[in-house]
Structure 1
């Protein structure tokens, strides 16, 4: 799961607010000449999926940037 913002509470992480959906556009606000958007990443599973076990995780996240 990819969330907008910095992870501060594990409980809040699993709420739907600020979850980035595939293909969603995220606007980055400009602050003092620098454009920054922090993201947090966590593992989730759907109801009915098997329990997670120890092991390696591989994930691909692609960011596409559009500059005006």
Structure 2
């Protein structure tokens, strides 16, 4: 009841606590896609992470080889 009253008072109808990890066990949270600033491109976080980026993996290998 209290949550519904606050939502009505503050106008937070679209608020989804699951998107803010409100007590959700690790591994069960939602991963939201990223919008790259200055563009209309939307992608998953995994696409941006260096471990999943072939060019960054190659750079890592090149630097590790000395």
TM over 0.5: no
TM-score range, shorter chain: under 0.3
Q: TM-score under structure 2 normalisation?
A: 0.22
Max radius of gyration: which structure?
2
TM-score, normalization by structure 1: 0.22
- In terms of fraction of residues, the more helix-rich structure is 2
In terms of fraction of residues, the more strand-rich structure is 1
